[in-house]
Amino acid sequence: EDQVTQSPEALRLQEGESSSLNCSYTVSGLRGLFWYRQDPGKGPEFLFTLYSAGEEKEKERLKATLTKKESFLHITAPKPEDSATYLCAVQAPGQAGTALIFGKGTTLSVSS
Amino acid sequence: ETGVTQTPRHLVMGMTNKKSLKCEQHLGHNAMYWYKQSAKKPLELMFVYSLEERVENNSVPSRFSPECPNSSHLFLHLHTLQPEDSALYLCASSQDYFSSTDTQYFGPGTRLTVL
């Protein structure tokens, strides 16, 4: 069964303290891996799509990387406004069309 | 209005009520989705419409009834819900459901509470 596991479940950082979030997946023949950010009471906001192992994408303090088994979301020198839940989702063969399998998310809290 | 909008943002209903959730996308997309998000659980895909035709129905109880009158609008009709149906209901859209490189964009959600 295709699965997506995110860790840690929650992460508390001080402002400026860099860290990484992990998304491991057990799908065969990955078609795409997506990162979203979700603020409380709001819908997920698209961040990145990664398609092949070795691919990297950056946006401000965020950098996403992909291997054959997992993806990391690196947060460099985070600020309080980076506090949110970060969701990972994969698109795999056998999933009709663009259907996604989501992880439970990592809730990040950054304090000043 | 831009992106994906949802109304109402909050809804409280009794178990015998009938209500509807509305979603509208202003992106010119051809596919629209309903997801359910419960606490401590991953997003669950409920329904998918592509060019106004339903292409997926993930074993959702019949008390949830979707409707897609055109490619810009999506409704979720609710009747005789249960308290465990309380959740955040999210609508999303994408350019082309059958494209392997497509990205889904989400609305702000409707927080539903069933008493």
Which residue has tokens 């950082």?
A13
Residues of A in contact with B41 (CB under 8 A): 104
| Residue A29 predicted with pLDDT over 80 | no
- Whether B56 has its CB under 8 Å from any CB of chain A: the answer is yes
Cα torsion angle, A79, A42, B95, A27, sign = positive
| Whole-number pLDDT of residue B100 | 65
Q: Tell me the sheet residues that pair with A88.
A: A35
For B52-107, the pLDDT digits (tens) are: 888 877 789 999 999 999 999 999 999 999 999 999 999 999 998 877 678 899 99
A80 SS3 class: helix
For B7-33, the pLDDT digits (tens) are: 999 999 988 889 999 999 999 999 999
Which two tokens mark A14? 């001080």
For A20-42, what is the mean pLDDT? 91
Residue of A nearest to B40 (CA): A104
Residues of B in contact with A98 (CB under 8 A): 31, 94, 96-100, 102, 104
Which two tokens mark A43? 């819908």
Residues of A in contact with B87 (CB under 8 A): none
| Pick from B52, B3, B49: nearest CA to B26 | B3
Residue B42: which of A42, A98, A103 has the nearest Cβ?
A103
| Whole-number pLDDT of residue A100 | 85
Confidence of residue A98 (pLDDT cuts 50, 70, 90): low
Identify the residue among A98, A101, A102, A106 best suited for mutation to test binding to B, counting B beta carbons within 10 A and taking the highest.
Answer: A98
Question: Strand ranges (DSSP E) for B3-109?
Answer: 4-7, 10-13, 18-25, 31-37, 44-50, 53-57, 64-70, 73-79, 87-94, 105-106
Rounded distance between C-alpha atoms, residue B9 and residue B4, angstroms:
13
| Whole-number pLDDT of residue B5 | 97
